[in-house]
């Protein structure tokens, strides 16, 4: 946001009439006042654009962001956006097309929102970890780059649009919080890694456009078709966590992360098993390696026929992840086991056979929020992006980010 004053509100246009002769001045000034104030837009874009505040100043109630899941790569194949210029970064800020009575006809409310969207001016600063430099780009260009890095390029348009909504919400929430956690340098908002959201740089997107123009167009479509929209709960951007695939159910946030959020509840996700590549995975390791990685004595985890020393799941979460695993006399959380053994998920089955341990995992990722493969399954069944996100994020709304523009540095 430029921060320029609205000359209409400051009386600037009235002052421009001072050259008119005194005799006609009153009449013409009155007419000018009616024209200016009678036709002034009431849309949120103009109202919010007039009063920028320091980033995060009004966001003290929002919580800190948590870690995201390991991310996917590439994008898909679809039609080009109707209002797109075709160059990276150029799809930002263009006015939406639409009919009008004439060149000077006032815009309708939806037209005004499309033509004047304050968040079009929002810049995101990404630290490119390989190049060790900061790339500064408009919000929607960033969203396009995240979509291109987060989902396979043969995913359905509605799934990619759901990803765009989650990606945009994540960065808006982070900027509102003035959160720089996980960024190794000053002057950047996020990195391009799974610490935040995986992102394809402008150079990488240019390469993608040259090698796969349909894929580039599909990523751009996802950003443009959801342009300016975010996911909110009680008016605030949500913690839009997402992950690759579930075991059939997503997980409550408090079973994976140290907080409970009302919109991150366990929901059914039956599409994952059919859609996700590598949905189940089995690995085998020696008891010695198993114990070493978990930090448990090898002797304590040797299964006895008497059952005195066992390896067994004590209980599971609502999402069917392992909540507590008993290893000999020790008890570990499923999340801890997943991290220490580098498992694809905490939804696993485990058996001890002789001196080896066999572990089979189901799904991939932390399991909280939106399942990306589940989103694909829903999209294939005809669900829209809004229906997808409202399934995975309980009780949320899809709203314009422009409502928060007075709390962002634009």
pLDDT tens for 339-362 read 999 999 999 999 888 789 999 999
| Rounded-to-integer distance, Cα 182 and Cα 190, Å | 7
pLDDT of residue 300: 57
pLDDT of residue 30: 37
Coil, strand or helix: which one is 122? coil
Quote the DSSP letter at residue 263.
Answer: T
The single residue listed with the structure tokens 């026929």 is: 305
For residue 259, CA distances in Å to 191, 245, 356 come to 24, 22, 36
pLDDT of residue 98: 31
pLDDT tens for 244-300 read 999 999 999 999 999 999 999 999 999 999 999 889 999 999 999 999 999 988 675
pLDDT of residue 256: 96
Tokens of 366: 């932390």
pLDDT of residue 301: 62
pTM exceeds cut of 0.75: no
pLDDT of residue 117: 61
pLDDT of residue 309: 57
Q: Of 94, 81, 80, 221, nearest to 164 (Cα)? A: 221
pLDDT of residue 153: 84
pLDDT of residue 410: 61
pLDDT of residue 353: 82
Quote the DSSP letter at residue 125.
Answer: E
Residues of the chain with confidence (pLDDT) below 50: 1-116, 303, 305-308
pLDDT of residue 107: 33
């Amino acid at each position: 946001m430029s921060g320029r004053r609205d000359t209409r509100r400051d009386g600037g246009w009235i002052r421009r009439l001072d050259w008119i002769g005194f005799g006609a001045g009153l009449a013409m000034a009155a007419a000018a006042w009616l024209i200016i104030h009678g036709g002034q837009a009431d849309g949120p874009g103009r109202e919010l654009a007039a009063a920028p505040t320091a980033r995060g100043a009004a966001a003290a109630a929002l919580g800190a962001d948590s870690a995201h899941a390991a991310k996917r790569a590439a994008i898909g194949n679809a039609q080009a956006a109707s209002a797109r210029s075709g160059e990276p970064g150029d799809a930002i800020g263009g006015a939406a097309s639409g009919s009008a009575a004439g060149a000077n006809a006032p815009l309708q409310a939806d037209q005004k929102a499309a033509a004047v969207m304050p968040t079009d001016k929002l810049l995101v600063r990404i630290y490119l970890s390989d190049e060790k430099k900061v790339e500064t780009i408009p919000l929607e260009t960033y969203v396009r780059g995240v979509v291109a890095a987060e989902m396979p390029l043969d995913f359905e348009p509605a799934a990619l649009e759901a990803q765009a909504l989650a990606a945009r919400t994540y960065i808006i929430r982070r900027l509102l919080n003035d959160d720089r956690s996980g960024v190794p340098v000053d002057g950047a908002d996020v990195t391009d890694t799974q610490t935040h959201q995986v992102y394809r740089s402008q150079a990488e997107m240019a390469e993608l456009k040259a090698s796969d123009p349909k894929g580039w167009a599909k990523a751009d479509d996802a950003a443009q078709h959801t342009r300016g929209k975010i996911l909110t709960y009680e008016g605030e951007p949500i913690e839009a966590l997402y992950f690759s695939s579930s075991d059939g159910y997503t997980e409550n946030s408090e079973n994976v992360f140290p907080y409970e959020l009302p919109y991150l509840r366990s929901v059914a996700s039956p599409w994952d098993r059919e859609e996700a590549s590598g949905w189940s995975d089995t690995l085998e390791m020696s008891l010695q390696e198993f114990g070493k990685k978990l930090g448990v004595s090898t002797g304590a985890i040797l299964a006895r026929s008497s059952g005195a020393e066992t390896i067994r799941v004590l209980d599971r979460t609502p999402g069917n992840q392992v909540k507590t695993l008993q290893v000999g006399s020790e008890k570990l959380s499923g999340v801890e086991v997943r991290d220490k053994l580098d498992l694809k998920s905490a939804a696993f089955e485990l058996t001890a056979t002789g001196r080896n341990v066999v572990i089979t995992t189901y799904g991939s990722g932390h399991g909280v929020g939106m399942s990306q493969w589940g989103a694909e399954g829903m999209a294939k069944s005809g669900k829209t992006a809004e229906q997808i996100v409202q399934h995975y994020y309980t009780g949320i709304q899809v709203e314009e980010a422009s409502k928060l523009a007075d709390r962002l540095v634009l």
